[in-house]
Structure 1
Amino acid sequence: MKIGILQTGPFAEEVQAVTGDYDVMFKSLLSGQGFTFEVWRVFEDEMPTSIEDCEGWLITGSKFGVYEDHPWIAVMEDFIRDCIEAARPIVGICFGHQLIAQALGGKVEKFEGGWSVGRKLYDFGGIDLPLNAWHQDQVVEAPEGARTLASHDFCKHAALLYGNRALTIQAHPEFGPEMVEGLALTRAEIVNDPAQISEALLALDEPLANEIIGDQIADFFRSNRPS
């Protein structure tokens, strides 16, 4: 199965030599699942010719906001709606989670409570799963028909499921400790919350549920769908 990675921004350039860019992270997260990959840097106006170019699609995180006025964002929203209509499976992570919600009628905004960074426990239907987060924007109103799969005190709609069409997650299952450490050391002034940065650094060695979520994403891509 071929998965198209729609990269919506670069990861922190200062630490890419250690972490790799988003495409590298997702290829690692989904390694061993039998997938092949092709990458489009959509933030640089690289777009697939058709939703049929791949059997499934994954939208990455980004430094941009989904509400910002970049022409490629509107193009991506059309692409998302086409995937949903055609039952071409699509997964969104962080920015991707927010963009899919916005494209389908949800609302995204900068959360007035500030940033969420580092390891957080998310309630997936009564099961607490730890994942790394790095965001201020979040989905504050889910689209009609979307089901909230996970939540956190800080983030009501931490994961959303749109039938068998789309699966989206606010946190970063592709982030290991090196990604959070790199961001904490290079982006702390943006977060402007020393206590939260310190907490994130102290939790770097704590276990994460990345493999569990990676398996769930792979299972979602492989689910049977009408042709």
Structure 2
Amino acid sequence: MHIGILQTGASPDALKDQMGDYPDMFERLLAGRGLTFRRYRVELMEFPASVSECDGWLITGSRHGAYEDHPFIKPLEAFIRDAYAAHVPIVGICFGHQIIAQAMGGKVERYEKGWSVGPTDYDFNGEKITLNAWHRDQVVKVPENAEVIATNEFCENAALLYDDRMFTVQAHPEFRPEFVDGLMRTRGPGLVPDDLMARARARLAEPLQDQTLAARIAAFFHDHRQTKPGAEKLRA
């Protein structure tokens, strides 16, 4: 199955040579799961010719806000709605989670309680899954056609499922601990409170369930034409 990665941001230059760019991270995360990939720098206005150019789409994270006035935002929202109407599956991660919600009638805001950084526990309908986080924005209003399938006390709408067509997650299953440590060193100072980064560093060695999410993402892509089986695997 051929997946188009819609890249909406870039890894910091100081980390890119050693740890790769965002598409590299997703390709590593999803390796060995029957998926191939093509990259599109939508942040630089490199868009697919149509929503059917690939079998499915994955929207990356970004340092941009979904509510900001960047040239790629409106075309990306239109692409999301067109893909949804055409039943072409989309996965959204962090910014991807937010821009999909915004495109579908939800609302994204800079969260008044601040940042979530580093290993973070989420409740996926009774199953605790720990993933790395790096965000200050959140989906504060869920679109009418979306179902909340993961939450925690800080992030109420941590993962959303739009029947068998779109699956979105606020956390970063593609971020390894060393990359989060690098973000704290390169982007964190003066932006993320020091005490929050200290707590995140203290948890960096804890096990993550990134492969649990990788399996769910792959299952979503492979099973999207079978609404109930695909949806049930994500809700379970």
TM-score grouping bracket, smaller chain normalisation: over 0.9
- Between the two proteins, what is the percent identity of the paired residues? 53
Deviations for 1:113-159, whole angstroms, at most 9, x for unmatched residues?
00000000000001110000000001001000210010011100000
8 Å CA contact retained: 1:101, 1:142: yes
Question: Which deviates further from its counterpart, 92-101 or 67-76?
Answer: 67-76
Report the counterpart of residue 63 of structure 1 in structure 2: 63
CA distance in 2, matches of 1:118, 1:152: 14
Report the counterpart of residue 85 of structure 1 in structure 2: 85
Q: Could you list the runs of 5+ residues in structure 1 that have no partner in the other structure?
A: none
What TM-score, normalized to structure 2? 0.94
CA distance in 1, matches of 2:55, 2:187: 35
Q: CA deviation at 1:66?
A: 0.5
Report the counterpart of residue 29 of structure 2 in structure 1: 29
Amino acid paired to 1:206: E
Structural mapping, 1:134-213, within 5 Å: 134-213=134-213
SS at match of 1:160: strand
8 Å CA contact retained: 1:60, 1:94: yes
Q: CA deviation at 1:190?
A: 4.2
Q: Could you list the runs of 5+ residues in structure 2 that have no partner in the other structure?
A: 227-236
CA distance in 1, matches of 2:151, 2:11: 25
SS at match of 2:5: strand
1:72 equivalent to 2:35? Answer: no
8 Å CA contact retained: 1:115, 1:191: no
Q: CA deviation at 1:224?
A: 4.5
Report the counterpart of residue 119 of structure 1 in structure 2: 119
Deviations for 1:188-221, whole angstroms, at most 9, x for unmatched residues?
2243311110111121111001000000000000
Q: Pairwise CA RMSD of aligned residues?
A: 1.0
Q: CA deviation at 1:98?
A: 0.1
CA distance in 1, matches of 2:11, 2:79: 23
8 Å CA contact retained: 1:119, 1:130: yes
Report the counterpart of residue 220 of structure 1 in structure 2: 220
CA distance in 1, matches of 2:76, 2:190: 27
SS at match of 2:148: strand
The number of residue pairs the alignment matches comes to 226
Distance 1:122 1:224, change over 3 A: closer
8 Å CA contact retained: 1:5, 1:59: yes
SS at match of 1:188: coil
After superposing on structure 2, the runs of 4+ consecutive aligned residues of structure 1 that deviate more than 6 Å are none
CA distance in 1, matches of 2:62, 2:13: 12
SS at match of 2:173: coil
Q: CA deviation at 1:34?
A: 1.3
CA distance in 2, matches of 1:204, 1:19: 16
CA distance in 2, matches of 1:43, 1:82: 18
Report the counterpart of residue 47 of structure 2 in structure 1: 47
CA distance in 2, matches of 1:190, 1:144: 37
Amino acid paired to 1:79: F
